[in-house]
Amino acid sequence: MTRDRAAAISATGVTVDVGDTTARYLLYGLLPSWSVPGLADRVMHRRTRIEDTSGTKESLIHALMMTEVGIPIALTLRYEVNPLLLSVQSGGAAVHEATALWDVRTAVHSEREVKPIEQHIHSFLESPPFAALAALMCLHSDQVKSLARGGGSDPGAWRLVPRRPQLSRGCLAGIAAAIGTCVLLPHGEELLRCGRAARARRKQARDEATWQAGADEAAWSAGKGD
């Protein structure tokens, strides 16, 4: 941007709060849009019949991944960004990435076919934690420096400090409703479906074992009678 252009913008009196704009993007842009690839991933799981292939194990790994990112998100909505929260966010992003690798290995080593489109969907699911963390670090560079110094002399560096101002109850309720509708309900349905299929397989195995035991006993009795 040229100096003349910058001067012209400044002359209009229009100012932009970069911090507020970035926070709004994270809250109303990145966070809601993250649910789109999540729903697409659930569609792929259903199409490849996860309940009959990788089953409950993979579905539980998905629940673990949601917990790994859910805890940092919940804390960030309620508390100020400081060295403690940055550590939780960084750790959550790193562990989530490691679990994502475990998830894919579990799927490809099962009978479930992981198609290229699902792999591409995974890339959209893995990116937001790092994008959000990078944005927060830019917004709170002073806290990043404090973290690098081990918290320094700040007494609040390693404790949870409530946000000021707090997000409104309506905002928090909307976020909770969106997460419940677009994340928890679809995954809960998947996990229940996997559980029902696993119970059905165990029942079938018990019935077959009982039938086989009865057949063996009948054959033994017949042979003894002869």
Q: What is the pLDDT of residue 3?
A: 56
Q: What is the pLDDT of residue 12?
A: 56
Q: Mean of the pLDDT values across residues 189-209? A: 93
> Which residues have CB under 8 Å from 46's CB, separation 6+?
190
Q: What is the pLDDT of residue 226?
A: 58
Q: pTM, whole model, 2 decimals? A: 0.84
169-195 residues labelled b (16+ CB within 10 A) or e (exposed)? eeeeeebeeebeebbeebbeebbebbe
Q: What is the pLDDT of residue 223?
A: 67
**Within 10 A of 156 (CB to CB), how many other CB atoms are there?**
13
Q: What is the pLDDT of residue 113?
A: 92
Nearest of 44, 87, 38, 46 to residue 65 by alpha carbon: 38
With a cut of 90, say whether residue 97 has pLDDT above it. yes
High-pLDDT (> 70) share of the chain, %: 90
Q: What is the pLDDT of residue 151?
A: 84
CA distance 185 to 15: 42
Compute and round to an integer the Cα radius of gyration of the chain. 26
**Alpha-carbon 166 to chain mean position:** 24
pLDDT band at 8 (very low <50, low <70, confident <90, very high): low
Q: Using one digit for the tens of pLDDT, what is the confidence trace for 138-187?
A: 999 999 999 999 987 788 899 999 998 898 999 899 999 999 999 999 99
With a cut of 80, say whether residue 78 has pLDDT above it. yes
Higher pLDDT, 226 or 37: 37
Q: Using one digit for the tens of pLDDT, what is the confidence trace for 42-76?
A: 999 999 999 999 999 999 999 999 999 999 999 99
